[in-house]
Amino acid sequence: MKLLVTGGAGFIGANFVYYELENHPDDEILCVDKLTYAGNMETLAGAMRNSKFRFVRADIADRKAMDAIFAEQGPDIVVNFAAESHVDRSIETPEIFLRTNILGTNVLMDACRKYGIRRYHQVSTDEVYGDLPLDRPDLFFKEATPIKASSPYSASKASADLLVMAYYRTYHLPVTISRCSNNYGPYHFPEKLIPLMIINALSDKKLPVYGDGLNVRDWLYVRDHCTAIDLIIRKGREGETYNIGGHNERANIAVVKTVLRELGKPETLIEHVTDRKGHDRRYAIDPTKIHAELGWLPTTSFEEGIKKTVAWYLEHRAWWEHIVSGAYASYYEKMYGNRTVLDP
């Protein structure tokens, strides 16, 4: 079996590449990645030593490049992780999100139609469902929950999902979609909540919590996400969407305090700052369908996963120091320099 994995130099894509190489050693993996700010060849250094793995630098929205890759490689399964993935960046510059996340998906699926594949899998997000109120803990996102995106990021992912289902209905492209909650774990880019807080705390920098810090996310250890995608691409039903999450809901402020506790750092580092525009209140997944159909359940609790993640960042200082010493420094200044510190 030949897998084409797009966005494999990013956080979840790279974890998936390692998961597949370990668990399906006979399969070949071709990784296609544009290497934007979020793509990192240091992350793939281990995979590059494996003879079953190949890497091509290309943009998924580049039709000529995708045509050439599909014509030459003839992949059996395409797993599309490639995306602009950060909500805060989408609020600053929506356009690139539309290009990569929507047009890129369109170009990839056209190549799939032209050259024929066994499965196209779209890695989507629970953010396409919008958010849930904090005072209704009985509500969860189900696959049938209507799409109601809040940010330019989630709107672009929702658009891509609609296009994927349109290709299934119109062209009978064998597709699946997964919608996952917030991931965390090794190789997570420092702009996202958990790695940002770990890295700031390690440098005794302030920890910028948006607004009241009561927004809730449903945290999933990245390896559990990889096991779910692996099951869906091999055993999931064509034309189906699967929600992936494991009832690990935590308020942001609780996550930040857990990180501080793990690192033995004081809570006085916490600073409440101006809220994100349009900030979604609560995400919470109902994973009944994937559990019932494919037997999937997450195996890592939040307490265990956060310990593993903090340990990983302590053991891989060089990996994140290379990032934070580069263009990331000016990103941080731009995004956090002007945020007002709120009264405690």
Among 31, 65, 79, 87, binds ligand TYD (CB under 6 A): 87
Instruction: Work out how close the CB of 73 gets to ligand TYD at its nearest, in angstroms, rounded to a whole number.
Output: 32
What is the DSSP code (8-state) at residue 100? I
Q: Cβ(6)–Cβ(108) under 8 Å?
A: yes
| CA–CA gap between residue 299 and residue 92 (Å, rounded) | 36
Residues that bind ligand NAD (CB under 6 A): 6-7, 9-13, 33-36, 38-39, 59-61, 81-85, 100, 104, 123, 125, 157, 180, 182-183, 189
Nearer to ligand TYD, 223 or 282 (CB): 282
Amino acid at position 339, single letter: R
- The first and second tokens of residue 205, run together, are 């920098």
Long-range own/partner contacts, residues 162-171 (CB < 8 A, 24 or more apart):
163/102, 163/105, 163/106, 163/109, 164/105, 164/109, 164/120, 164/122, 165/239, 167/109, 167/113, 167/120, 168/238, 168/239, 171/113
Estimate the share of the chain in helix, then strand, then coil, as percent rounded to the nearest 5: 45, 20, 35
Residue 123 contacts residue 105 (beta carbons within 8 Å): no
Residue 193, contacted partner among ligand NAD, ligand TYD, none, CB below 5-8 A by kind: ligand TYD
Instruction: Work out what residue 209 binds among ligand NAD, ligand TYD, none; the CB cut-off runs from 5 to 8 Å by kind.
Output: ligand TYD
Among 7, 152, 208, 245, indicate the residue that binds ligand TYD (CB under 6 A): 208
Give the three-state DSSP class for 161. Answer: helix
User: Which partner in ligand TYD, ligand NAD, none is near 163 (CB below 5 to 8 A by kind)?
Assistant: none
- Nearest-approach distance from CB 72 to ligand NAD, in angstroms: 17
For residues 334 and 195, what is the distance between their CA atoms, to the nearest angstrom?
18
215 part of the interface to ligand TYD, by CB under 6 A: yes
Residue 98 C-beta: closest distance to ligand TYD, Å: 17
| 153 assigned to active site | yes
Q: Give the three-state DSSP class for 166.
A: helix
Select which of 126, 131, 191, 249 is catalytic.
Answer: 126
Rule CB under 6 A: say whether 183 interacts with ligand TYD.
no
Position among 209, 228, 285, 323 found at the interface with ligand TYD (CB under 6 A): 209
The residue within the footprint of ligand TYD, chosen from 158, 196, 229, 306 (CB under 6 A), is: 196
Taking the complex as a whole, the smallest distance from the CB of residue 65 to ligand TYD amounts, in Å, to: 28
DSSP 8-state assignment for residue 137: T
- Can you tell me which of 252, 258, 300, 309 binds ligand TYD, judged by CB under 6 A? 252
Least distance between ligand NAD and beta carbon 169 (Å): 22
* Contact stretch for ligand TYD (CB under 6 A) within 47-55, 75-83, 93-101, 203-211: 203-211
Contact (CB, 8 A) for 162 and 147: yes
CA distance 223 to 227: 6
Question: Is 27 an active-site residue?
Answer: no
Q: Write phi, then psi, for 6 (nearest 5 degrees).
A: -95, 150
Report the residue from 17, 65, 78, 193 that binds ligand TYD according to the rule CB under 6 A: 193
Q: How many residues bind ligand TYD (CB under 6 A)?
A: 12
Q: Does 112 bind ligand TYD (CB under 6 A)?
A: no
HSE-CB of 205 using CA atoms within 13 angstroms: 14
Question: Interface with ligand TYD by CB under 6 A: which residues?
Answer: 87, 182, 192-193, 196, 208-210, 215, 217, 252, 276
Would you name the residues annotated as active-site residues?
Answer: 126-127, 153
